[in-house]
Chains A and B, each alone.
Chain A
Amino acid sequence: MKPHLNLLPWKLRCQMLLRQRLWQWCVGWSALALGFAVLLGWRWHGLVRAQEHLSDWQRRASTVQAIDTRNESLRRQIATLTARLGRYGHLESEQIGFQLLATISQSSTFCAGNIQVQKMTFKHVQVADTTVAKDAAPNAKAPPMRDVRKLLLNGVAKDNLAIAQFVSSLRDSGVFQSVDLKSSLGNTVADVGSHTYHVECTF
């Protein structure tokens, strides 16, 4: 500043300077707040517009979404049917059915008519995979399961010998993985002894 005197009292000068600085800060902060408000408003406007666009696109995509949902449902149905087909489809093959009947019939022939198959049931069960379970650590989680098909045979026989021959014949046929005699109960009907058996064949 150019040379000059200042006869203003020092206290008054300090007060004026303080007031001026406060005013300057006030103006600065107000401008900042205004800028922030403008920015906020602008962003808010953008958000509203984006939401409107989203709603519009959702409305436009509703038919496609319905088709997608239906496709998903159909895909699940197909998966179920495919699984069912994998499980039972091979049974639909007449050759397998005939092969089983032939095997059972052949095995019963070895018993010289001393055994009768009254009921034949096909069952599909899931059992723990013992091969994997043996390799796993003791504290490992539960072993994986695998699908096993079982043929349950119920009937009556003259004696235990006939049942043993029948079971042995089934094993020897090589069709089944294992043949287990689950039960054999002897009883008497009209003074004639007989045995009710229950055999489980895994294949």
Chain B
Amino acid sequence: MSVAQRSMLSFLRSRTGWIGIDIGTHSLKLAQVESVGGQKQIAHALVIPLPAASHLTAESVRTGWLTRALRTALPCFRGRTAACGVSMSVTDFRSMNIPPGSRNERREMIAQELIDGGIATAEAIEFDFWDGNPKEENAAVNVLAVSKSFVTQVAEAIQGAGLNCRALDGSPFTLARSLELMNHDSVVSTPRAVLDWGHRVAHLAIVVDGLPAFSRVLKDCEVGPLVESIAQGLGLSLEDSCELLSTYGVPDPQGTHSEFSEIQELVVDMAAELFDQLTVEVDKTLQYLGSHRPELAPTELVLLGGGAAIRNAEAKLSQEFNLPVMRWQLPLRRMVGMTGRQPPVELFANAAALSDLGCEP
């Protein structure tokens, strides 16, 4: 087969997903997945730091920063259909025991529970739910709720940028799909843990058969304070602090002495509290699962988000958790709009999983 024929075949087999927009507390991540010859890869990716004084609130989004940021990013992407995801810090996740019924009946019961729980009035929230264990009839129902005014503002901001937002996905499902994406769309029936180690929130999910069976926000485990403390302690900017973490990181537990050992020792001292807290939270979760739902005990953990970019973090966490830990990986074809340092691909896991919604299964 000639090169031209191969190129034509490759072009015909190429399928581009939607524009995935991951709205984080620290930055806006955009990615577009494409399938070339049956292999998924990130075709375009972009990180836009959130402007100063911008927050994930309806009032802040109303000022137009999201629309402006998306407008500047759009020329780098193909198509105008998007899927969006928001940080777990702006959502309310909880499990409920709801009697069996039709989907509408259960929806009404959940709405009543949320109102009784004092979260908000029915008009002020938007929620979706899924069964914690589809095989069990009376299993708990997982509910993800978010402020209606906030999602409305987000959707209108995306629309204002000229995009057609098809879905605003919940983080647990996004994590589950990112895992599938990493494994070339193959659904694994053994439970696996995904840790989205974000700037303002750390979110752990257990994925079985491509669905989130368990989800938990780990308290005080976000990577943001570590970045800020390094920046303050060493007199660096936040960007340089992130760069230091990804370039030098922490010492490799199995590694030998390297030329970066001095800096790595400095970083690990500053990050000790964070790693300890993370270990405590993950251990607590694993113990809970082991005693209450042993079928969900994970066989491995996949690390993604800003924290995953810390060099040797996976090796250190693997030693702490006593569990194989790996970074989320997917081939990245082109990082757009970046002139200097290239952000780690782990940052785009959620955006890629959102983009993958537009790819045919």
Contacts and interface: CB of A to CB of B under 8 A. Distances in A.
Contacts of B361: 1-2
A7 B165 contact: no
24 contacts: A1-B361, A2-B356, A2-B357, A2-B361, A3-B176, A3-B210, A4-B167, A4-B173, A5-B128, A5-B130, A5-B144, A5-B172, A6-B128, A7-B86, A7-B127, A7-B170, A8-B151, A8-B155, A8-B165, A12-B151, A12-B152, A12-B155, A16-B155, A16-B166
Nearest to A1: B357
Interface in A1-43: 1-9, 12, 16, 19-20
A9 B155 CA distance: 9
A167 B146 CA distance: 135
Q: Interface size bucket, A side?
A: 10 to 19
Contact of B126 (A1, A4, A8, A16): A8
Interface of A: 1-9, 12, 16, 19-20
Contacts of A6: 128, 167-169
Contact of B164 (A5, A9, A20): A20
Nearest to B159: A16
A2 B168 CA distance: 14
A19 B156 CA distance: 13
A16 B128 contact: no
Interface in B121-156: 126-128, 130, 144, 146, 148, 151-152, 155-156
A16 B170 contact: no
A51 to B, nearest CB: 46
Contacts of A19: 164
B203 interface: no
Contact of A7 (B126, B176, B211): B126
B199 interface: no
A4 B355 CA distance: 12
A9 B130 contact: no
Q: Determine which residue in A6, A19, A20 has the highest number of CB atoms from chain B within 10 A of its CB, and name it.
A: A6
